């Protein structure tokens, strides 16, 4: 359907006559009508299928056909027949009219008529394509060319070299724009290297680095809202009145299917260094008098240069519990390989300028959480004076005010702005309206009743549609220029280096909602509220100092020490190595775990990182101690072992040996001789009555029974 040959013209002529007979409007092309060419490289990929072709169709509908014609070429490395067939199916399945009105259907037919396929694998392919573009525009003026690169960044240098050498328009009046998808490097150095390679072939004004989050309707409301209400907000938009600002992007999905990419980047590179940092710029930048692209770019760059570089101590990271297993299976990892790639992170940022000095900006994002929600929350200090009359202030009690930009939320069609009623009614920019139907009861994060807010809804348009239109019209406000890109990498580069060897906290979706991922600001640092391990004062003061002189061994065995994350990581790796070697030599591996809080993170780590590679079927698990409670009781040590480890691994049930706390005469009755029963069971299973590995907790608790007091060695 998309092959421009003589038979196609005849076929389309027949279709045109048929459509006229049916009453459809046809698009007759005036030979004097200027043309603009759009080339999508990576035309059959997921991004093109989900968003880009629909975005190009929406652009086509928005351009007046009598003043400018648009022509589209989809390119891939596939041979013509294969690629053309795939592209045809994608266009049929993915490009549509939301409302089946006659005008849209007419436009759809006209759009499909203007899409061709081209194989783009070699320099000759690019030369042939661009020669045809030039020849096709010979009878009328070519307005411009857009090359949209929906391909991995490693392909950028070669493609832009081809574009520069054989695809530049011959007429100097014809503009050239090259759109690039993130990631734009994985570090400051790699971003600089890629930028240098691009600059050899393209001018800065020809490069359009796209961050699709800047096209989201909720994000696009921030700057216009601030600008429209600057007379009221600007005097309050500073460290004197604002307590903190929170920028969050929470997702319920995992990353299965894209782990080969994701594991190289993680949540900070994937979301925080770009999307959330760009939003920070919109919230914190100085508002220029005129929101023209150049002024917005300059103001945001100036702000980025004032943001202090983030350190690893200003960040906490986590990893959802099944990530390591998914990574091993999807990327065919060798047994024993581990990944520290975070799927959750939170960081605290500070801006070193007069307006924001001392105000914490908390950026947070995570995968596989219990809710899908993205927002910007600006929380004002309690002592902030309400900018209204005395009588109004009395009615509102001058409670702490909030402005919340709800960028996206599961179940909500439109983004929203929530404004505390202690503010005067705002001036609404174009496209924003008051919404009294907003389901505020679904928002648990804000912990405030709906009656405290005025709620405004923003018009909704697909992010890629918005950005494609911006690119076509030359509006660079929502595209990332080189200077801003480098400034954002300066902010994050040190933290990324420092977090490379930090073990992320393992979490489940449920744990993400029960305080396990809660964090708090401590001065200039960030830390988890709930600590992973417990160490009592006696252990720290008496035992730890006793062995400080010999930090490598204790009783002729390796001694692991350091912060909690590093110690548990080393311990888990040691358990794995000993288990593998023991099974190889003896066929079985016996290990005993303690109870209490100490081993919980170790259990989660073993369950996630070593679920597949560990020899569980040849492993016997014993317990060092138990509480005198039923096994189903949440306080039971076995219950913790079951929930955090056993239910996630493939271990035979008869290889698990819980302590016999309930026998004939009830719970922990001395007449049942539970310790002796357990000791006899160990004797039946253990060679020379020795365990292969014993993990001891950091403290004994009165409610636990230390069965190993007289048990085998």
Quick one: three-class SS letters along 112-171?
HHCEEEEECCCHHHHHHHHHHHHHHCCCCCEEEEEEEECCCHHHHHHHHHHHHHHCCCCC
Averaged pLDDT for residues 6-19: 38
The predicted pLDDT at position 66 comes to 61
- Token pair 């008496």 in the structure block, residue: 542
pLDDT tens-digit map of 622-653: 999 888 888 888 888 998 899 899 988 989 98
Cα-to-chain-centroid distance, residue 709: 49
For residue 532, how many other CB atoms are within 10 A of its CB?
Answer: 20
Cis peptide before 183 (omega within 30 of 0): yes
| Highest averaged pLDDT of the listed ranges 164-168, 437-441, 540-544, 666-670 | 164-168
**Confidence bin at 6 (pLDDT 50/70/90):** very low
Per CATH, which fold does 35-181 belong to?
A: Rossmann fold (3.40.50)
pLDDT tens-digit map of 299-327: 999 999 999 999 999 999 999 988 988 99
Residue 232 near residue 424, CB atoms below 8 Å = yes
Averaged pLDDT for residues 476-500: 96
List the 693-694 sheet strands across, edge first: 619-623, 589-593, 693-694
**Pairing between strand 626-627 and 704-705?**
antiparallel
Q: What is the pTM of this model?
A: 0.72
**Confidence bin at 687 (pLDDT 50/70/90):** confident
Q: Which residues are catalytic?
A: 275
Strand partners, 434: 456
**Confidence bin at 536 (pLDDT 50/70/90):** very low
Burial of 102 by CB count in 10 Å (0-12 exposed, 13-18 middle, 19+ buried)?
exposed
Q: Per-residue b/e over 114-150, b at no fewer than 16 CB within 10 Å? A: bbbbbbbeeeebbeebbeebbeebeeeebbbbbbbbb
Please give the share of the chain, as a percent, with pLDDT higher than 90. Answer: 61
Residue 427 near residue 403, CB atoms below 8 Å = no
**Confidence bin at 501 (pLDDT 50/70/90):** confident
Strand partners, 553: 558
Task: Note the CATH number of domain 214-381+463-528.
Answer: 3.30.360.10
- Token pair 């600007």 in the structure block, residue: 234
d(CA 119, CA 129): 9
For residue 483, how many other CB atoms are within 10 A of its CB?
Answer: 16
Q: Which CATH architecture has domain 553-709?
A: 3-Layer(aba) Sandwich (3.40)
- In this structure, of 154-163, 380-389, 402-411, 454-463, the range with the lowest mean pLDDT score is 380-389
The predicted pLDDT at position 566 comes to 73
**Confidence bin at 551 (pLDDT 50/70/90):** very low
- Token pair 């049930």 in the structure block, residue: 653
Q: Could you state, in order of their start, the residue ranges of all structural domains in the chain?
A: 35-181, 214-381+463-528, 553-709
For residue 422, how many other CB atoms are within 10 A of its CB?
Answer: 22
Average pLDDT, the chain: 85
The region that residue 357 occupies, defined by phi over 0 for left and psi between -120 and 50 for alpha, beta otherwise, is beta
* pLDDT beyond 60 at 9: no
Q: Where are the alpha helices (DSSP H) in 240-358?
A: 259-267, 277-284, 293-306, 323-331
Burial of 389 by CB count in 10 Å (0-12 exposed, 13-18 middle, 19+ buried)?
exposed
Which two three-digit tokens encode residue 371?
């809710």
Long-range contacts of 394-402 (CB under 8 A, 24+ apart): 396/421, 396/422, 398/422, 399/452, 400/243, 402/377, 402/378, 402/446, 402/448, 402/453
Contacts of 504 (CB under 8 A, 6+ apart): 317, 318, 319, 340, 341, 342, 343, 344
Q: Computed from CA positions of residues 301, 307, 308, 312, in that sequence, does the dihedral angle turn out positive or negative? A: negative
d(CA 395, CA 150): 55
Q: 553-709: same fold as 35-181?
A: yes
Averaged pLDDT for residues 111-137: 94
Averaged pLDDT for residues 13-33: 47
Question: Using the 8-state DSSP alphabet, how is residue 315 labeled?
Answer: E
pLDDT tens-digit map of 177-235: 999 999 999 999 999 999 999 999 999 999 999 999 999 999 999 999 999 999 999 99
Q: Computed from CA positions of residues 27, 29, 35, 40, in that sequence, does the dihedral angle turn out positive or negative? A: positive
Please give the share of the chain, as a percent, with pLDDT higher than 70. Answer: 83
């Amino acid at each position: 359907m998309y092959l421009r040959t003589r038979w196609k013209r005849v076929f389309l002529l027949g279709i045109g006559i048929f459509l006229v007979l049916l009453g459809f409007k046809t698009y007759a092309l005036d030979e004097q009508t200027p043309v603009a060419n759009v080339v999508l490289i990576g035309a059959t990929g997921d991004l093109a299928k989900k968003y880009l072709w629909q975005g190009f169709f929406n652009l086509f509908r928005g351009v007046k056909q009598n003043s400018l014609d648009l022509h589209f070429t989809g390119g891939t490395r596939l041979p013509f027949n294969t690629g053309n067939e795939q592209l045809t199916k994608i266009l049929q399945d993915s490009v549509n009219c939301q409302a089946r009105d006659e005008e849209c259907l007419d436009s759809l037919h006209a759009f499909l008529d203007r899409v061709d396929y081209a194989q783009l694998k070699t320099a000759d392919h690019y030369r042939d394509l661009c020669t045809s573009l030039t020849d096709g525009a010979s009878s009328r003026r070519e307005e411009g060319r857009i090359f949209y690169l929906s391909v991995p960044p490693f392909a950028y240098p070669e493609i832009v070299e081809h574009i520069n050498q054989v695809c530049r328009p011959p007429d100097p009046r014809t503009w050239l724009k090259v759109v690039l998808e993130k990631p734009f490097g994985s570090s400051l150095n790699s971003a600089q290297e890629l930028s240098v390679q691009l600059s050899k072939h393209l001018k800065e004004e020809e490069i359009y680095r796209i961050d699709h989050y800047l096209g989201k309707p909720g994000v696009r409301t921030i700057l216009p809202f601030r600008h429209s209400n600057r007379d009221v907000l600007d005097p309050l938009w500073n460290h004197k009145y604002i307590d903190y600002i929170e920028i969050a992007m929470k997702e319920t999905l995992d990353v299965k299917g894209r782990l080969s990419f994701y594991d190289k980047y993680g949540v900070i590179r994937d979301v925080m260094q770009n999307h959330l940092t760009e939003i920070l710029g919109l919230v914190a930048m100085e508002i220029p008098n005129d929101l023209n692209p150049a002024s917005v770019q300059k103001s945001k760059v100036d702000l980025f240069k004032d943001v202090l570089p983030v350190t690893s101590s200003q960040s906490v990271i986590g990893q959802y519990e099944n990530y390591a297993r998914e990574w091993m299976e999807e990327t065919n990892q060798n047994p024993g390989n581990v990944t520290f790639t975070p799927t959750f992170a939170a960081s605290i940022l500070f801006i070193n300028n007069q307006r924001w000095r001392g105000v914490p900006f908390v950026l947070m994002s995570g995968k596989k959480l219990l809710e899908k929600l993205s927002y910007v929350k600006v929380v004002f200090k309690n002592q902030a004076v309400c900018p209204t009359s005395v009588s109004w202030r009395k009615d509102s009690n001058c409670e702490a005010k909030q402005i919340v930009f709800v960028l996206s939320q599961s179940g909500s069609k439109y983004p929203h702005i929530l404004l505390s009623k202690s503010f005067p009614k705002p001036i609404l920019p174009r496209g924003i309206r008051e919404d009294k139907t907003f389901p505020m009861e679904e928002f648990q994060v804000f912990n405030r009743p709906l009656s405290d807010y005025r709620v405004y809804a923003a018009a909704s348009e697909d992010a890629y549609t918005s950005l494609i239109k911006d690119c076509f019209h030359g509006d660079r406000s929502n595209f990332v220029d080189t200077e801003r890109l480098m400034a954002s990498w300066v902010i994050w580069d040190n933290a990324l280096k420092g977090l490379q060897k930090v073990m992320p906290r393992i979490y489940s979706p449920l744990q993400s909602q029960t305080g396990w991922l809660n964090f708090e600001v401590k001065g200039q640092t960030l830390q988890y509220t709930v600590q992973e391990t417990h160490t009592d004062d006696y252990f720290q003061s008496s035992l730890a100092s006793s062995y400080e002189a010999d930090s490598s061994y204790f009783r002729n065995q390796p001694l692991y020490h350091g912060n909690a994350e590093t110690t548990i990581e080393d311990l888990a790796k040691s358990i794995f190595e000993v288990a593998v070697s023991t099974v190889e030599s003896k066929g079985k591996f016996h290990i005993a775990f303690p109870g209490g809080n100490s081993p919980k993170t170790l259990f989660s780590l073993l369950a996630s990182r070593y679920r597949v590679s560990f020899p569980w079927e040849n492993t016997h698990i014993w317990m060092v101690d138990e509480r005198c409670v039923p096994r189903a009781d949440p306080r039971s040590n076995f219950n913790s072992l079951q929930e955090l480890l056993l239910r996630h691994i493939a271990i035979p049930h008869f290889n698990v040996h819980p302590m016999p706390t309930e026998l004939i005469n009830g719970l922990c009755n001395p007449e049942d001789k539970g310790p002796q029963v357990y000791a006899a069971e160990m004797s039946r299973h253990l060679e020379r009555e020795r365990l292969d590995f014993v993990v001891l907790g950091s403290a004994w608790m009165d409610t636990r029974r230390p069965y190993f007091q007289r048990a085998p060695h």
